[in-house]
Amino acid sequence: MDETDRHLLARLGEDARTPVATLARDLGLARSTVQARLERLERNGVIAGYALRLGDAVRAGQIRATVLLSLDPRATPAVVKRLDRMPEVEAAHTASGRADLVLTLAAPTTAALDRTLDVIGEIDGIKGSETLIHLSTKIQRSG
């Protein structure tokens, strides 16, 4: 990956829907060159996909939380499978330290978040949890 690829990725990070012709003009390259670079970046796994990123108008109506889970190590695959079926779970990351799994949750109300936490707490293999409610976002980077 060279400097041109990094500039291309930065432009896509701003707006992944930018037409290839516009990217080519902005980067001073031929459209076919930009298209070939995008295909190579996709093929090599640098670009894993193009996704919808919800704006503040939608996110503002959500109560968000980070949940730290301690797990029975043998139960991790089953716990992750169960969490994957819960729409309130936006992300799940394995971690080192006192937590085995770190979740990001979003729910429309505190009551819905509380119900979600109750369901998570009942999953076999979870030994303990700690929930941190997000109050405000000070920095949000994409990518």
Residue located via tokens 């080519």:
24
Q: Are 30 and 21 in contact (CB under 8 A)?
A: no
Query: Beta partners for 103?
Result: 67, 92
Give the predicted TM-score (pTM) of the model: 0.64
Instruction: Look at residue 100 and tell me whether its pLDDT is greater than 80.
Output: yes
The pLDDT value recorded for residue 7 is 92
Average pLDDT value over all residues in the chain:
90
The domains located in the chain, with CATH, are 3-43 (1.10.10.10), 56-133 (3.30.70.920)
Tell me the pLDDT tens digit for each residue of 69-88.
999 989 999 999 999 999 99
